[in-house]
């Protein structure tokens, strides 16, 4: 394959929308020193401005207490307190890392949660309560107390720079919201009105749904009821479990999941899962979990343009409001082996470039494997969502986003098809250099042919020097090095440092030809490899 980039190629801004925010686990983790250290590294090296996490109101943050929690006497419930000090410590750590919070207002404190027979706990490791409040007036009082705490601690000038998002993925019952769409809309209305009564300048939005859903219905509700909304937020993964972006005719559920209120409906599923576990030879927790949560992106023919198509629809639905994708990535399956491979790197590079014109900001899920949504696995490489492992070793996806971060703010307009094929290309300009990024992206990664593709580049550029960075089997691949060590469960500091250094992705000298004003470069691309050329056109 051959590409030619002319000096007459028009230019457009390089929209680094993913620098708007990054995701992480839940709020309690933000109290850890290693979390803060990694967060600052992400800010300093990738330029990401904000961080978003779940569960600022979960009971492990102890925001709403009463005396009965210490002395279990009926009369003790009449002695309550709000305590947002742990929230303040978490936000202090975010600010000390050079970033700002993107505040996800979730989940429900036990002392406020409705008790009406519906299941109250979500299906995650830290057991969030995912139901509406029992008393809307009590919820409003709680939200306003939280806002007063923030304004007193940080000042209005600071807090008004933050974003406040009401809940997380309320379209997913049993996971994040055991309520109806109507109940979520009420939650949003009560929350935003409580906030605006304290400070009208604070930015609040939603619906924070999975798979680009509910936007039309949400905005229609806000319009009909004159409910304030400052931005639209939603999420998108290539392998989301539910289908159908709103207004596109797809189902919001395929109907295959049994209803939680019918335990007998789960019996065939449980028998199937038990048989699958019996068949696992190496019975580690991780292997069993992977058997129960298979990687859909390897077992199903998933399209690689779902985010592109759905974000175009969401852009139209959001109208003039800012549109933020506050979670996105290649895989929605936690523990998937390929999360640690360059498959995620190639997908994230391609997708970040593809969707740039459709949204105002986005947040890759997530920055670190310091994360325990389903289970805190001890293995350094366990298929976590992070750009960094739990000990801070950069994965291929980190190195790919570093390439995009280092790319110039001016992008050469090579046309929409340039990034849509299996082999994609993007080019950029920065002071004193031109940059070319190549990738070969496929959704299935494990059983593909290993033969590389040869790519030739011709550029109208006069080089002083050319360097190249690679993400491939031997560059930026700490997973392979860890497996060669025998996949040890734990690592000491020397081993962490060694893996980080040996898997580093750095600029290396690159051979080239320059004749008659044309620079020629050549490289080979394996499946899901990423290559970044820097053509230095000025004296270094």
Please tell me whether the peptide bond between 116 and the residue prior to it is cis, using omega within 30 degrees of 0.
Answer: no
CA count, 13 A, side-chain hemisphere, 54: 28
The b-or-e profile of 14-40 (16+ CB within 10 A means b, else e) is bbbbbbbbbbbbbbbbbbeeebbebbb
Residue where a domain stops, chosen among 354, 374, 405: 405
Which range marks the domain in which residue 480 is found? 2-9+409-536
Name the catalytic one among 327, 330, 373, 433. 327
What 3-state DSSP class applies to 394? strand
Question: Are 293 and 220 members of one domain?
Answer: yes
Q: What is the largest CA-CA distance in the chain?
A: 89
Residue with tokens 């005396």: 67
Annotated active-site residue 484? The verdict is no
Q: Which of 217, 224, 229 is nearest to 164 (CA)?
A: 229
Question: Are 346 and 418 members of one domain?
Answer: no
Question: Are 355 and 443 members of one domain?
Answer: no
Name the catalytic one among 104, 165, 169, 330. 169
Q: What is the CATH number of the domain that holds 521?
A: 2.60.40.1500
Contact 419, 353 (CB under 8 A): yes
**498 contact partners, CB below 8 Å, separation of at least 6:** none
What 3-state DSSP class applies to 362? strand
Question: Are 483 and 359 members of one domain?
Answer: no
Question: Are 67 and 121 members of one domain?
Answer: yes
Question: Are 78 and 191 members of one domain?
Answer: yes
Annotated active-site residue 327? The verdict is yes
Question: CA-CA distance, 354 to 376, in Å (whole number)?
Answer: 33
Question: Are 493 and 480 members of one domain?
Answer: yes
* Per-residue pLDDT of the chain in tens (540 residues, 90 and over written 9): 899 999 899 999 999 999 999 999 999 999 999 999 999 999 999 999 999 999 999 999 999 998 988 888 888 888 889 999 999 999 999 999 999 999 999 999 999 999 999 999 887 888 899 999 999 999 999 999 999 999 999 999 999 999 999 999 999 988 899 999 999 999 999 999 999 999 999 999 999 999 999 999 999 999 999 999 999 999 999 966 455 555 443 334 333 344 444 455 556 766 777 877 877 778 888 888 888 888 888 888 889 999 999 999 999 999 999 999 999 999 988 999 999 999 999 999 999 999 999 999 999 999 999 998 888 999 999 999 999 999 999 999 999 999 999 999 999 999 999 999 999 999 999 999 999 999 999 998 877 667 899 999 999 989 999 999 999 999 999 999 999 999 999 999 999 999 999 999 999 999 999 999 999 999 999 999 999 999 998 654
Question: Are 459 and 344 members of one domain?
Answer: no
Taken in order 72, 76, 78, 83, is the CA torsion positive or negative? negative
Question: Are 202 and 310 members of one domain?
Answer: yes
Q: What is the CATH number of the domain that holds 289?
A: 3.20.20.80
Question: Are 413 and 398 members of one domain?
Answer: no
Question: Are 86 and 212 members of one domain?
Answer: yes
Contact 11, 429 (CB under 8 A): yes
Q: Which two tokens stand for residue 132?
A: 């509406």
Q: Domain tally for the chain?
A: 2
Question: Are 470 and 379 members of one domain?
Answer: no
């Amino acid at each position: 394959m051959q590409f030619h980039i002319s000096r007459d190629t028009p230019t457009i801004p390089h929209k680094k929308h993913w620098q708007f925010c990054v995701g992480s686990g839940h709020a309690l983790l933000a109290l850890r020193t290693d979390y803060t250290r990694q967060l600052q590294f992400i800010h300093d090296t990738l330029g990401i401005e904000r961080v978003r996490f779940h569960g600022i109101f979960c009971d492990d943050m102890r925001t709403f207490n009463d005396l009965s929690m210490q002395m279990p006497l009926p009369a003790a419930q009449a002695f309550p307190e709000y305590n947002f000090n742990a929230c303040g410590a978490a936000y202090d750590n975010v600010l000390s890392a050079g970033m700002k919070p993107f505040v996800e207002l979730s989940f429900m404190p036990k002392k406020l949660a409705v008790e009406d027979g519906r299941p109250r706990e979500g299906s995650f490791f830290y057991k969030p309560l995912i139901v509406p409040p029992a008393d809307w007036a009590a919820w409003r009082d709680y939200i306003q107390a939280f806002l007063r705490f923030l304004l007193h601690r940080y000042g209005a000038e600071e807090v008004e720079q933050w974003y406040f998002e009401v809940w997380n993925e309320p379209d997913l019952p049993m996971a994040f919201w055991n309520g109806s769409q109507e109940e979520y809309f009420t939650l949003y209305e009560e929350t935003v009105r409580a906030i605006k009564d304290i400070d009208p300048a604070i930015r609040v939005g939603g619906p924070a749904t999975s798979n680009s859903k509910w936007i039309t219905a949400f905005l229609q509700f806000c319009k009909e009821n004159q409910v304030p909304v400052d931005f639209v937020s939603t999420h998108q993964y290539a392998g989301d479990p539910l289908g159908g972006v709103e207004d596109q005719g797809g189902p919001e559920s395929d109907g295959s999941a049994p209803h939680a209120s019918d335990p007998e409906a789960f019996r065939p599923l449980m028998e199937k899962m038990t048989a699958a576990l019996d068949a696992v030879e190496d019975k580690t927790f991780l292997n069993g979990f992977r058997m129960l949560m298979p990687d859909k992106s390897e077992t199903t023919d998933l399209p690689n343009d779902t985010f592109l198509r759905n974000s175009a629809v969401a852009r139209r639905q959001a109208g003039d409001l800012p549109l933020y994708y506050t979670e996105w990535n290649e895989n929605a399956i936690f523990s998937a082996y390929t999360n640690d491979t360059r498959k995620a790197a190639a997908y994230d590079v391609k997708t970040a470039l593809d969707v740039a014109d459709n949204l105002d900001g986005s947040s890759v899920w997530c920055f670190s494997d310091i994360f325990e949504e389903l289970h805190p696995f001890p293995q350094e490489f366990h298929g976590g969502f992070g750009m960094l492992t739990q000990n801070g070793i950069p994965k291929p996806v980190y190195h790919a986003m570093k390439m995009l971060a280092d790319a110039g703010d001016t992008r050469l307009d090579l046309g929409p098809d340039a990034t849509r094929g299996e082999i994609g290309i993007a080019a950029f300009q920065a002071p004193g250099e031109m940059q070319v990024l190549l990738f070969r992206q496929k959704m299935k990664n494990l059983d593909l042919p290993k033969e590389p593709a040869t790519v030739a580049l011709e550029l109208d550029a006069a080089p002083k020097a050319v360097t190249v960075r690679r993400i491939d089997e031997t560059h930026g691949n700490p997973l392979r090095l860890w497996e060669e060590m025998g996949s040890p469960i734990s690592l000491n500091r020397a081993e962490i440092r060694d893996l980080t250094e040996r898997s580093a992705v750095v600029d290396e000298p690159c051979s080239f030809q320059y004749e008659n004003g044309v620079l020629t470069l050549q490289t080979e691309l394996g499946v899901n490899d990423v290559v970044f050329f820097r053509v230095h056109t000025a004296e270094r």
